[in-house]
Homo-oligomer: A and B are copies of this chain.
Amino acid sequence: MKLRHVVESQQFTVPRLMELFSRTEEMKKIVARGGTRDYENKIMASLFYKPSTRTRFSFESAMFRLGGKNLATEQAYEFSSEIRGERLEDTIRIIADYCDVIVLRHHEEGGAKRAASISPVPIINAGDGAGGQHPTQALLDLYTIYNECHALDGLSVAFIGALDKGRTVRSLAYLLSKFERVKLYFISPDELQIKTDILEHLDENGVSYNLANSTDGIINKVDVVYQTRIDRERLKDRNLDLTNYNIDSSVLQKMKYNSIIMHPLPRSVEIDTDVDHDRRAAYFRQSRNGLYVRMALLTMLFEENDEPTLFDGYKK
């Protein structure tokens, strides 16, 4: 089946993921050569209802390295609320005439799916609502594990932090459930633990997992530590002390020599900067992979949806 839109991480089958990762390797070579001109006729529109400079830059840089062009706004929400009552569907239909692909960050869960249901050009979900998805983040996370650990089957992964609101953790857990003999650990104070819908999904797929309040006895045996942001405001409200969940050089000493530490970035205090110099600190490499994975996704979308769409005589 052709890749029409990128809306949620679950939509990718294992063979499609492997195809994506193989293409990601090609993209590294293209960037090393200084980029390509192959997609110079393509225009990407970044339609962000809330600003996210890093994510936007990552997509736009991917487009530039492919030779393409970028339209961008981070003010879509402000604009949209100003003109009361405008429907997302109308906006997408209008913007689609100006571009060949739309990267959408919407504030409502399900926004990307609504957009995809009517858009004549491919939609890439760059985050929809706090409880929604951010599939390209999950794909670059999975690629990073694959690239660093040379495998996905049989891996053990510990997620640490405030997991109840962790969009990235949710999406990655979905993806990991597609692989064999995966073992997941969710380490968080009870108040901030991962929500049960994810656990039900893991149960259905026969994925082994554990919930814990501490890294003790876990940190020393996992292949991947996936650290997430700790919102200090929330902790103060609840009188929680999350220093137990931080990673510093003492935690590092307990980790396996060939394990890796990941983080969706930006980080606050939850990873000590001392850790940066250790080979196992993979988070900056992870961030860079976002460029290559997004390039790979864009080329798949362009190739699999390559038909003239703008001329009046055509269907669009």
* A contact residues vs B (CB 8 Å cutoff): 28-29, 31-32, 34-35, 37, 40-41, 43, 45, 51-54, 56-58, 60-61, 64-65, 69, 71, 73-76, 78-79, 83-87, 90-91, 93-95, 97-99, 229, 232-233, 265-269, 273, 284-285, 287-288, 291, 308, 310-314
Contacts and interface: CB of A to CB of B under 8 A. Distances in A.
Q: Which 10 A-B pairs have the closest CB atoms?
A: A32-B311, A61-B98, A34-B41, A85-B268, A97-B288, A86-B266, A64-B69, A53-B73, A57-B98, A31-B310
B266 A83 contact: yes
Given A51-B79, A73-B53, A267 B32 contact: no
Contact of A32 (B93, B288, B308): B308
Given A61-B98, A73-B74, A94-B284, 15 more contacts: A37-B40, A57-B95, A58-B98, A60-B71, A60-B98, A61-B97, A64-B71, A74-B75, A83-B266, A83-B268, A84-B233, A84-B268, A90-B267, A285-B312, A288-B310
B99 A266 contact: no
Contacts of A266: 83, 86, 90-91, 94
A291 B97 contact: yes
Contacts of A90: 265-267
A266 B97 CA distance: 14
A102 to B, nearest CB: 11
B312 A28 contact: yes
A209 to B, nearest CB: 29
B291 A98 contact: yes
A26 B40 CA distance: 21
B69 A45 contact: no
A43 B64 contact: yes
Residue of A65, A308, A310 with most partner-chain B CB within 10 A: A310
Given A34-B41, A83-B266, A287 B94 contact: yes
A82 to B, nearest CB: 8
A232 B2 CA distance: 44
A25 B54 CA distance: 36
